[in-house]
Amino acid sequence: MKKKPHRMLERQLRKAHLQADQLPKEMDQWLSLLERISQTYLQAEQDRYLLERSLKISSEEIRQSQEQMAHNAKLASLGEMAGGIAHEINNPLTIIAIQVEKLEFLMGKKGIADSDLDAGLTSIRTTCDRIARIVKGLRQFASGSENRDLAPVDLSEVIGLSIEMCEQKLRNRGVGCRFMRERQTVIVDANSIQLSQVILNLISNGADAVKNLDEKWIRVELKETGQYGQIYVTDSGAGIPEAIRSKIMQPFFTTKEIGEGTGLGLSVSKGLIEGFGGKLEYNSNCPNTQFIISLRKHVEVQEDLDEAA
């Protein structure tokens, strides 16, 4: 039985316009054929290298473009929140000023009760702590450092700061926001600044979506499922229409009017969460509009345990 030529050789023969039974018989013809085959392989290798190089450059450009989009969205969000943040700080300062005037008035009298002094100082201390939290959240969010390294992150703390950063916008739209948690502390591996940016964007989007509804609320839930910490961001809307569900995670897709949406797009948010090894999903089974962030919980290695011992 006659053996069939090797498939690769057969393809090269076809390129040389030869059949298996038409192989050259003279040495110079063989040399010419082998030279043509060698040139074909060399050209294919060069084409492969150029293609890989092109794909690498394209991937890097896409990554840089996504980072720039995230940075631009951060600046836009800061601009949108600037008035609200000023209000958030001005209100506590007003409380401090009132308490100081009250204490000065009481001190002007012959005596001041310890209870009045303690109450005034406690109010001032609590209010200063609130200002410190607002400033801390703002500094973290506006940080110029785009460090992509992952670190242990307390989800309760990040969620709390994100909600505080958005409080004025929520009040302006008459939207109530509730933070519910099954556990006080859930530690995951993430980048706290970028995670805060994603949570803030989901809350801000929810506030925009429900502002014209009779029932306006947003609920942020912290849960623990197996090896994951999960953040559920739900608003009182009736969900995303089925016709556009497949598009909401696409770059540049928006349902907002021009100039209304200045925050982080869901596409970039999804990319950031996936960069942590997590997932950002829309839950179509919820009767309201709900997004779920799932992040792998931080696992202490033996070195961490030794240091804690």
pLDDT tens-place string over residues 26-37:
666 667 767 777
Instruction: Look at residues 227, 254, 262 and name the one whose alpha carbon lies nearest to residue 77.
Output: 262
| pLDDT tens figures, 67-115 | 666 666 666 656 555 555 665 666 677 777 777 777 777 776 666 677 7
- Tell me the average pLDDT of the chain: 76
Domain of 260 in residue numbering reads as 65-302
**DSSP character for 21?**
G
Structure tokens at 204: 């801000």
Query: Which residue has better confidence, 222 or 140?
Result: 222
Residue 296: which CATH number? 3.30.565.10
What are the phi and psi torsion angles at 292 (to 5°)?
A: -125, 125
Rounded alpha-carbon distances, angstroms, from residue 243 to 12, 14, 104, 236, 239: 50, 49, 64, 20, 12
Average pLDDT over every residue of 261-282: 80
In a domain, 171, yes or no: yes
What separation, in Å, do the N-terminal and C-terminal C-alpha atoms of the chain show? 76
pTM of the full structure: 0.58
Q: Which residues, 6 or more positions from 4, have their beta carbon under 8 angstroms from its beta carbon?
A: 10
In a domain, 288, yes or no: yes
Structure tokens at 97: 């000023």
In a domain, 40, yes or no: no
* Number of domains making up the chain: 1
Place of tokens 């039985």: 1
190 strand-pairing partners: 151
pLDDT of residue 138: 64
Strand ranges inside the chain, DSSP E: 151-154, 176-181, 187-190, 217-225, 228-235, 279-282, 289-296
In a domain, 256, yes or no: yes
In a domain, 55, yes or no: no
Are 273 and 280 in contact by the 8 Å Cβ rule? The answer is yes
In a domain, 260, yes or no: yes
Average pLDDT over every residue of 188-217: 89
Instruction: Look at residues 281, 301, 296, 274 and name the one whose alpha carbon lies nearest to residue 148.
Output: 274
Helix (H) or strand (E) holding 302: helix 302-308
SS3 84: helix
In a domain, 18, yes or no: no
Residue 127, pLDDT > 90, answer no
Three-state SS sequence of 68-79: HHHHHHHHHHHH
Strands 228-235 and 217-225: antiparallel
CA-CA distance, 38 to 239, in Å (whole number)? Answer: 61
In a domain, 51, yes or no: no
